[in-house]
Structure 1
Amino acid sequence: MKPPPFTYHAPRDLPAALRTLAEVGGKVLAGGQSLIPMLNMRLAAPGHVVDINRVAGLDGIEVSRAGVTVGALARHADVERAGAHPLLTWALKLVAHPAIRNRGTVVGSLVHADPAAELPAVLAVLGGHVRVARWDCGRVTFREIPAAEFFVGPMESAVGPGELAVSAFFPALEEGSGAAFHEVSRRHGDYALAGACAVVGVAGARVACIGVGGGPVVIDVGGDLSSAAARVRDAVDPDDDIHASAAYRRHLVGVLAERALRDAAREGAAARGA
């Protein structure tokens, strides 16, 4: 398999990358673990590819009391090893295989917006945001897109033409909160048939589900965890496909949500010394 012809660009700083995107558009190459297979299978045929791997300053992992900011070139494996956020670390261990995690990027996964991907669910359940940049009237400008608005549909994010996602912010868990992520896939490393991540705190609980909608499905389950599985099943709208029926996915995600909530509640209780 070979990709369709395209013009390759390799800017060395952020303004140059943004000017290129403003002038020619095209696809951004960071980790390439989603883009390259799509090119080789002719599922994407951009006229231009803008490789940002030489752009300095985009590979940072910044930790503060408020949360973790992950740069556009920070690799899955590096963020996992940093262990800066418990839910993010848990989710990254579920992503594909080590070879993919060594090259793939956290921000790239968010922009790719696969409905079965783990990282969009983490951003959504935490209420994080993605920072994007563009070239506007001779200068670099930025805007922040909250997770609730970022995932527009299957394989579609809110990053506009000429824009580059430069970082993602994952808010820290509140004190005394716990988090967990569970999923089921046909083979280890495959995309999940369904999955659920949960955050449980003193004020209540939230779940984000994958594989059962056009993007991460977030459900606020409040403080009553006993009815959470039923509420999750009622909130999702999976499709039938060659891998599983909609009914099976709906049942499965309820079970996984219940497990994630149980484990998150246990972690929260331990953090509070309860």
Structure 2
Amino acid sequence: MVEVVQIPVLSDNYVYLIGDEGTKTCAVVDPAVAEPVLAEAQRRGWRITHILNTHWHGDHTGGNADLKAATGCTITGPRGEEAKIPGIDRAVGEGDTVTLDGGAMARVFDVPGHTAGHIAYHFAEDNLLFCGDTLFAMGCGRLFEGTPEQMFTSLAKLKALPDETRVYCAHEYTESNGRFALTVEPDNARLAARMEDVRAARSRGEPTVPFALGLDKQTNPFLTAKSVEEFAARRAGKDVFRG
């Protein structure tokens, strides 16, 4: 059983430590910066052995070089973006697996859309999904490099995972996403109830991530879209949404 530690950084990013108490080792997911990550690992007595990058953007890889210099960790990232991942040691893609020092194993999914080579890591035994900027609570990533067809397919792949999967995305966008979702599905009672919980949590300064995939299947307009065309229209609407 792994322990996941959430580290808020920058304005709205989350970096994660996936720790194993037996070996006192951990992996870092999408380190935007190094200093708070090193500090948290040290506080817990964990040794950083791996970095898992989901895509090449700087707010997900900015800490790679400093963390590797400080710890000698192995950096794993997407095969389709290998040239853009600082310090990468291993490039992976669909169907590959990544095993951490404590034995936890993740299967890699190709989930292009936000970027051309974006990947996600699914730890099936622990019901954990680290999906970077592909899936957010009640939202999804902007299509900077991919197409609506690609993102629709990527989300369908993640949607097929078990409802009990805990989703660890990389940003705290939930409240804004929920406001948009309510304009798409104003009669969705489950969505309205979720937004009440989200607003209350944020008013207390609490994170809304991780979240249960099963809940998102009922309340995320990008997961409830029934066609590529419907998805594309919703994504275009979110891109200009200012609510």
- On whether the aligned pair clears a TM of 0.5, the verdict is no
Q: Which has the higher contact order (CA 8 A, sep 6+)?
A: 1
TM-score relative to the length of structure 2: 0.28
TM-score relative to the length of structure 1: 0.26
State which structure, 1 or 2, has the greater radius of gyration over its C-alpha atoms: 1
